[in-house]
Every structure is written in C-alpha cells, then in structure tokens.
Chain A
Amino acid sequence: MRKELPIWLGTMAGAFVVATRWFTLVNATGVDRMADRLIVASYAAAAAVGFIGLTRVHLRAIDARRPLWGYSIVLLVAMYGYAGLLFFLPASAPLPSWIFLNVMGPVFSTMYGLIAFFITSAAYRAFRVRNLESGILLAAAAIALLGNSAVGGRIWHGWDGLVAWIMAVPVTGGFRAIQVGAALGALGTAVRVLLGLERSHMGSPQG
C-alpha cells in the first residue's frame, strides 16, 4: 500500500490535469485553477528542501574540514545573508537591487561569456572534414555563421536569402522530425508514469 497509494494519487492527479487541459466541462468549473495554486504553493515549499540540503552539505564540509571548506562558509554567508536581506527588504529596494546588478550581474555575464571561448575550442575539434557529410556540415556552418553576423550580406547580397533558405527548409525539416519523435517520447513517458509502469523516480523498481 505504501507504494501503491502514491501511484494511485499520481494517476488520478495526472488524469485530472489532462481533463482540465482538454475538456470544456472540467475546464469551465475553474477547479483546475485551484490545482494550479496548489502546484505553485508546493514549488514555493520545495525551495526549503534545497535550502536545507545545501546547508546540511556545507555544514558537514566545514565540520569535517574538507578541502576548500572555506568556500562553504562563503556560500552559507551569501545564501543566508541575501535571504535574510530579502526577509526585511523587497527585492526592488536599492540594496538588493545593487547586489543583484553589481555582484550577480557580472558573475553570470562571465559564465555566459565563457560559452564564446568554449565554442572556439569545440569548433576547432568538431568541424573536421572527414567525408562528404561533414564537408556539407562545415559549409552550412560557415554560411550560417557569416549570414547571422551580417558579414555575408556585405560580401554578396544573396547571402541572407541563402541563410534564410537553409534555416527554413533543411533545418526546419530536420528539427521537426526530431521534435515530433521527442514529443511522442515525452507523451509515452507521461503515459507510463500515469499508468504506474514507470516508477523509478519514486525510488521503486520499474514494472
């Protein structure tokens, strides 16, 4: 029963949500909007799980003097400090806004900027012409690269049209095929979970 009850609850809740998405009769009752609020509330509560998990892991790291334990102190001070600040001040207040724009902003921009560096090393390794297919891949990449950066259009006025064709025909065709397959797979996974066939996420064996 300990294992069956969550599956039954999951199946019923899932079927209910599906019904609200498709059937006018259920949708018009407005009951689904109550379910929406429950989901929102459960996600807000889940934040506490992460907070506790991080605290536990880093307190242990400090306690056991693990390598780089000093950074665990930095993490806990930053996490509790910022959370404490937002307990007393709204996120729009000058101090949280300042921290957000001048501390977090540059850090995240740097992380995003790293992608530009890594793309270069990945391009150096990955675009080797070994056969006809990889040659076509390289040619398409070069055309799209120059087209998207507006260089191509300066070289030849037809360049933008060529890029538009690549994006609209071969790229769209390929992506659609992958997307349709992925959507069927996602739907299949949803049905397996709703039918209780797939229960690995509950820590239980499958089937």
Chain B
Amino acid sequence: MGFDGPGYGARLLLPGYLGSALLAALLLALMLICLFRARHGLRMPHLRRLPGIRVLEEMVGRATEMGRPVHMTPGTDDPRNPQVLASFPILRQLALAAARYDTPLLHTSADQIVYALSDATIQQTYIEAGRASLYDPEHVRYLSDNPFAYAAAVMGMFRRERPAANVMFGNFGAEALLLIEAGADAGSLQLAATSNIFQLPFFVAGCDYTLIGEEMYVAAASVSGDPMLRSTVIAQDWMRLVVALLVLAGAIVHTLAGPSDPLRRWLQR
C-alpha cells in the first residue's frame, strides 16, 4: 500500500497537531498525578454529586412501584464515540438497581457492537448482583442501524410497554425529539445526557433531567463511587482551568498581535 501524503522531513508530530498533543499529554499527566494521590490515600478535593445521577435509583424505584419497566438507550452511534462508551457505567448502575428491585430493564440500541457489549454488561451485572435468573436476553434489543427506523421501533415499544422511566445517555441525532415525545406520551420520567450540542435544546426542553456535555462523562466516571475513577474527574477539572487560561491568553495575544498571532501559529504547528 503506497503512501501518497506529503513528506514530513525531521518533524516529530504531524502538522497541525502540536496544540492537541500538548493538551492531551498534560491531561494524561494530571490524571496520573491524581491517580497516584488517590491510590496513596492523599487528600483530594470534594466532588459534588450530579442531580441526574442521584435520580437513577429513584427512576428504578418509581418503575417498581408502578409495575412498569425502565428503558435505557445509548443513542444511535457506535462504541468509537466516547459518549457511547460513557453510557456503560450508567447502564451497569441501572442494571444493578433493576436487579435489586426485580424490575425489567429494557435496553435498545442502533449498533450491533453496542448491542453485543450491552448484552454482556447487563448479563454480567445481574450475575454479580446474584440475580442471574432475572436476566432476560429479550429485554436487550438491537432494533436497526438506521436512526429513524430505530426511533420508529422505540416509539412503538413505548406505546406497548409504557416504561415508567426512560434514560437516554449517549449520542443522538434528529431522532432525539421523536424519542422524547414518545417518552412524554408514555408518561415516563426522563433523564437525558448528551454532548451533541444541537440535540441539547430538545433534551433540556422535553426531559425532566438533563446532563449537558462534560457532565455526562463526569457522571459516568463518578457513578460507581470508585475513588480511582473519581480522581480522574478532578484531573479533568484542573485541565478545564488550564484551557480557560489558554482561552484568556489567546484572546489577549490575538487582540494585541492581530492576524500574526504567534500563540495560535505555534499551537497549530
């Protein structure tokens, strides 16, 4: 297989990637420092619990009282999307609660690999919770790769099975509003989390609880209460401070230097 790209000469990094490589390296370093501190029991800042996460147990409890199932979807993307990966800790937590309360957990997906991973996650969680007999493979459903076909199937399912709670945690496209209104019509308590910005307004308008952007990743890392995972969230917060300072520095340098902005040119090397 021949290579047709431009020659790189003595460069170490590909053109245009210096800024992102530096930021990623800094985040990795901060995470390792926080992991080290957590492992050795050193003092760490307090992490507030997001309301959207507190409500997960309540959603399953509500479904149990009403004798209706809980539904969860990781959206319509594949597992290379970090939003989809972030949905698995939430799925695990939901499955733990569903196993504890003996409430059916319906899981639908629009990607074959997500389906296989979700099935394994739910089954394993039920086994760990000592309720293996409650695991029903037919509650884990791959519906279609096409977002609209997927939404049509979920809308029909909501009409028939009327879940008491609906957790939408992942990446959604234009089908988001269809799912939200189907959930509202079924009388579901709805929690949505996504970092897909152009679907966020629909979620904020139509759902009872919404996790916006980074909150979904924080929720995923902190839901289990594992101190090691929580420590990495603190590293993310430090990094956010670094980025904010960088934005401020960029604004000042760009205002003073104009189009010749040396900071921008250096970061885009």
Which of A50, A57, A185 meets B236, CB within 8 Å? A185
A residues near B20, Cβ cutoff 8 Å: 22
Q: Is B82 an interface residue (CB 8 A)?
A: yes
Q: Is A170 an interface residue (CB 8 A)?
A: no
Which of A25, A48, A122, A180 meets B243, CB within 8 Å? A180
Instruction: Output the nearest chain B residue to A71 by Cβ-Cβ distance.
Output: B156
| B92 close to A192 (CB less than 8 A) | no
Which of A33, A190, A198, A203 meets B124, CB within 8 Å? A203
Min C-beta distance of A68 to chain B, whole Å: 7
Which of B180, B200, B232 meets A188, CB within 8 Å? B232
A residues near B212, Cβ cutoff 8 Å: 178
Min C-beta distance of A118 to chain B, whole Å: 4
CB proximity to B under 8 Å, residues A98-136: 107-108, 111-112, 114-115, 118-119, 121-122, 125-127
Q: Is A86 an interface residue (CB 8 A)?
A: no
Which of A112, A193, A207 meets B226, CB within 8 Å? A207
- Max count, chain A CB within 10 A of own CB: residue among B89, B116, B117, B212: B89
Number of interface residues of A (CB under 8 A): 62
Total A-B residue contacts, Cβ distance less than 8 Å = 195
Which of B92, B128, B138 meets A57, CB within 8 Å? B138
- Taking A186-B83, A200-B92 as contacts, is the C-beta distance between A22 and B17 under 8 angstroms? yes
- Max count, chain A CB within 10 A of own CB: residue among B214, B221, B239: B214
Min C-beta distance of A176 to chain B, whole Å: 8
Q: Is B158 an interface residue (CB 8 A)?
A: no
> How far apart are the CA atoms of A188 and B24 in the complex, in Å?
9
Which of B8, B21, B224 meets A28, CB within 8 Å? B8
A residues near B214, Cβ cutoff 8 Å: 178, 181-182, 184-185
Q: Is B33 an interface residue (CB 8 A)?
A: no
| B91 close to A28 (CB less than 8 A) | no
Known: A179-B197, A202-B117. 20 other contacts (CB 8 A): A46-B112, A50-B112, A54-B142, A108-B149, A112-B174, A119-B177, A121-B181, A178-B214, A179-B195, A182-B195, A184-B243, A188-B235, A189-B220, A191-B232, A197-B228, A197-B232, A198-B89, A201-B88, A201-B121, A205-B92
Sample of 24 A–B contacts (CB below 8 Å): A22-B14, A22-B20, A24-B8, A24-B14, A27-B8, A28-B3, A50-B142, A50-B145, A53-B112, A60-B138, A115-B178, A122-B177, A178-B200, A178-B214, A179-B197, A180-B243, A181-B214, A184-B236, A190-B82, A197-B35, A198-B221, A201-B85, A203-B120, A206-B229
B interface residues with partner A (beta carbon < 8 Å): 1-3, 5, 8, 11-14, 17, 20-21, 24, 27-28, 31, 35, 78-79, 82-83, 85-86, 88-89, 91-92, 111-113, 115-117, 120-121, 123-125, 128, 138, 141-142, 145-146, 148-149, 151-152, 160, 174-175, 177-178, 180-181, 195, 197, 200, 202, 205-206, 212-214, 216-218, 220-221, 224, 226, 228-229, 232-233, 235-236, 239-240, 243, 247
